[in-house]
Structure 1
Amino acid sequence: MESRKLQKVGRSTITVSLPNKWIKDNGIGPGEIVFVMVEKDGSLRILPSKFFRQEEIEEEYIVNVDECDERGMLERIIVGGYILGRNVIRIISSSRIEKRHIDEVRKIIRKLVGLGILEETQNSILLQCSLDPARFKMDMLIRRLSLIVSTILSEAMQALLKRDETLAKEAIEREDEADTIYYLATRLLLHAQRRHELSEQMGIPDILLIPDIRLMLQSLELIGDYAEDVAKKVIALEMYRDRVQEDTIRKIYEISEAVQTVFQRSIDCVFSGDIKLANSVLEMKNTLEEIAEKIMHELPEIPYLRAILSGLISIARVGSISADIAINKALHEKSKYIEDVVKIVKHILPQPALKRK
């Protein structure tokens, strides 16, 4: 770090010289324009004009579908390009795109908000995304994803309790909705990370929170996967259901109710900043694990029964991650809930002497 002395030019203008190496590295010369941005902490950020070009460079992903010979490969490439913010994805073939690849494309774009087929020929498919990031608020997307995965779990467990296979199938189908919100939110999050000026429009006041938000999204998406798997196990259990006592089913159902409480309260305390609630959620998760372990040993040797309980505990563990995030976020933002718990004292530490120019 260098220190620079301010110089007064004329009656009121204050100037400061810029580091010569920085000027050379950025190809700046006399008379060129630089942009000065005031940061939240009061510091100044100086940007060369090349960062504010009028023209935008758009990357087009050209996917050689002939090389996507493994199952799911094309779908994952499209999802990856979408999440990374690519607006144009072109799928090409040296001859003719096979029907299985066409079906794969049509299936996945249903889950990707704003992405559609703009042009299609026998050897090319052009996908384009038209999405305005400023239209979406991150907190609403998180709450929406939380509600969807909660519904999947609730329907799966109601299906277990009522022996309703139709309800379990509805829970499985609903998982696609969770994927849609997860892909959209992740795309927007990476967009906010690249363009800080848009992060506040999306309801992200501090870019330091982006890694935490990404972890929350991944946790919720994983909960949806676990809940879907529980629903599948409920369907598979039906052929053995007459061997299971209703009291056992009731115990597992009550565990699922507690699991719902854990991950829903975890999300709530992220937004409220209530660290005591977050701590109680983490302790509740620990207690729940102990109770579930005891029940696990008592369960009869019936296929899928223990797998259902194991899935519920996995949901509790993953769901409680948001409670840890809530505590860290509250400390970072100096939430009102930490005032009586944590006192922040600032100490001025001696700094090494700066080179003056």
Structure 2
Amino acid sequence: MVSLPKRWARSVGLKPGHQVALIPQPDSSLLLVPRGEVKVDVAHEALVEAHPSMDPEAVVRDFISRYLAGHEAIRVRFHEGASRHRAALKEAIRRKLMGVEVIEESADELLTQCLVGYVELPVKRAVSRMSNLAHSMHRDAFSAYASADHGLASEVIDRDDEVDRFYFFIVRQLKMAVQNRALSEEVGLSSPRDCLGYRLVVKSVERVADHAARIACLALGLEKRLSLEALSRASKVSELAGRAYLRAMEALEGLDVEEAHRCMSLSAEAVRAGRSAVEELISLGLDARSAVSLSLALDSLRRIAEYGADIAEVVINLAAAAPTTRAWAQEARRWVGIRWP
């Protein structure tokens, strides 16, 4: 039995029969965390004021900031003359934010609620889905570019919104986990350090998707296919970049340091191949428009490889985060009942 201060227990809503976790920390201290059915309210209803003088994008950014802060309900108040902001906000919610639904609406107000939580989609599962989506965008974007397929290119561009939805949702969970230690394990992470690492990872994945969308946009500008000679160099860079990115994500899943190092070597190879291909553009005899287009596509492929290396570096750093302390914490963690003093 462990006796807890009555005032603290009441402040966090603990009652007889509730559970807490004693989690050893790297500095040899113990972290006491309420668990189970105990809920600490860290996200009350937030308010966004939409004035007619504001840019609609500013209202959208204000709304997203409340969403990322972890608020479950967000009320938007439209002042007279700000009706145009409503359409922009509702479109952004539909395209960019996962699980946010309008539950009340009037002439001057909009009330939304986030209906998807960390239990339904924990961080690691969400990152996996986001990563797979970004990889498919890269693969299909280059395919669209190589074949000048405008239809496929448009589909890839549309998929970028879905990646953004995962990105904002994951960042929301990570911020909530940092603010409330009790949520760290609930979202599938073991420490605030992991939250920082995954924050860097999801930003890199989001940028991979952005560059895939950029390649798709370049494909829309092609009137015909480029020569096979020009595409063969770009195809090699694309294949190397895709492998580097995939291996980085595989290394993240198992915190595999050796795989992370191999990924960084593969990324460096892709970067060298990309630079070599750009240097050889002059010898291909392309017209100026095609040469610029291919140069920009190669730059995006190089950046995708570099983001794979960034993810691999995060893996190495996470794996080095006191592994003995992690193992000891897992062995030492115990559930304890509550006895009132």
How far apart, in 1, do the equivalents of 2:248 and 2:125 lie? 16
1:202 to 172, 184, 187: 187
Is 1:256 the equivalent of 2:238?
Answer: yes
How far apart, in 2, do the equivalents of 1:14 and 1:311 lie? 57
2:196 to 198, 205, 211: 211
Is 1:143 the equivalent of 2:134?
Answer: no
How far apart, in 2, do the equivalents of 1:288 and 1:212 lie? 24
Where does residue 93 of structure 2 map in the other structure?
Answer: 109
1:122 to 107, 129, 148: 107
Is 1:320 the equivalent of 2:309?
Answer: yes
TM-score by length of 1: 0.77
- Per the TM alignment, residue 62 of structure 1 is displaced from its structure 2 partner at its CA by 2.2
SS in 1 for 2:292: coil
Where does residue 131 of structure 1 map in the other structure?
Answer: 116
Change (3 A) 1:32 1:126: closer
Q: Which has the higher contact order (CA 8 A, sep 6+)?
A: 2
- Per the TM alignment, residue 332 of structure 1 is displaced from its structure 2 partner at its CA by 2.1
SS in 2 for 1:128: strand
Where does residue 142 of structure 2 map in the other structure?
Answer: 157
- Per the TM alignment, residue 68 of structure 1 is displaced from its structure 2 partner at its CA by 5.8
Contact 1:61–1:88 (8 Å) recurs in 2: yes
The one-letter code sitting in structure 2 at the alignment partner of 1:104 is: A
- Per the TM alignment, residue 197 of structure 1 is displaced from its structure 2 partner at its CA by 1.9
Contact 2:52–2:82 (8 Å) recurs in 1: no
Contact 2:267–2:308 (8 Å) recurs in 1: no
Q: Which runs of structure 2 are paired with 1:30-179 in the superposition (5 Å)?
A: 32=7, 38-41=22-25, 43-45=29-31, 56=41, 58-66=43-51, 69-98=54-83, 100-110=84-94, 111-179=96-164
Contact 1:256–1:312 (8 Å) recurs in 2: yes
Change (3 A) 1:32 1:192: closer
Unaligned runs of 5+ in 2: 15-19, 325-341
Where does residue 287 of structure 1 map in the other structure?
Answer: 269
SS in 1 for 2:24: coil
Contact 1:97–1:122 (8 Å) recurs in 2: no
1:332 to 321, 327, 337: 321
- Per the TM alignment, residue 77 of structure 1 is displaced from its structure 2 partner at its CA by 1.4
Deviations along 1:269-317, one digit per CA (max 9) or x if unpaired, are 1122222221111112112212211110111442311011111111111
Where does residue 334 of structure 2 map in the other structure?
Answer: none
The one-letter code sitting in structure 2 at the alignment partner of 1:40 is: P
Deviations along 1:49-77, one digit per CA (max 9) or x if unpaired, are 9xx99884753332221156225111111
How far apart, in 1, do the equivalents of 2:175 and 2:155 lie? 31
Change (3 A) 1:54 1:288: closer
- Per the TM alignment, residue 171 of structure 1 is displaced from its structure 2 partner at its CA by 0.5
The one-letter code sitting in structure 2 at the alignment partner of 1:38 is: L
Change (3 A) 1:280 1:57: closer
How far apart, in 1, do the equivalents of 2:30 and 2:323 lie? 24
Is 1:274 the equivalent of 2:260?
Answer: no
Deviations along 1:8-39, one digit per CA (max 9) or x if unpaired, are xxxxx999xxxxxxxxxxxx9xx746588622
How far apart, in 1, do the equivalents of 2:39 and 2:166 lie? 32
How far apart, in 1, do the equivalents of 2:101 and 2:76 lie? 13
State the identity as a percent. 22
SS in 1 for 2:85: helix
Contact 2:51–2:81 (8 Å) recurs in 1: no
Unaligned runs of 5+ in 1: 1-12, 16-27, 336-357
- Per the TM alignment, residue 88 of structure 1 is displaced from its structure 2 partner at its CA by 2.1
SS in 1 for 2:189: coil
Deviations along 1:182-205, one digit per CA (max 9) or x if unpaired, are 111111111111222222122112
Task: Quote the RMSD (CA, aligned, Å).
Answer: 2.9
How far apart, in 2, do the equivalents of 1:155 and 1:90 lie? 39
How far apart, in 1, do the equivalents of 2:243 and 2:181 lie? 34
**Alignment length (residue pairs):** 303
Higher CA-based Rg: 1
Where does residue 298 of structure 1 map in the other structure?
Answer: 280
SS in 2 for 1:203: coil
Change (3 A) 1:94 1:333: same
Deviations along 1:87-111, one digit per CA (max 9) or x if unpaired, are 222222332542x312212212223
Where does residue 232 of structure 1 map in the other structure?
Answer: 217
Where does residue 333 of structure 2 map in the other structure?
Answer: none
Change (3 A) 1:94 1:309: same
How far apart, in 2, do the equivalents of 1:167 and 1:54 lie? 46
The one-letter code sitting in structure 1 at the alignment partner of 2:126 is: L
The one-letter code sitting in structure 1 at the alignment partner of 2:179 is: R
The one-letter code sitting in structure 2 at the alignment partner of 1:39 is: I
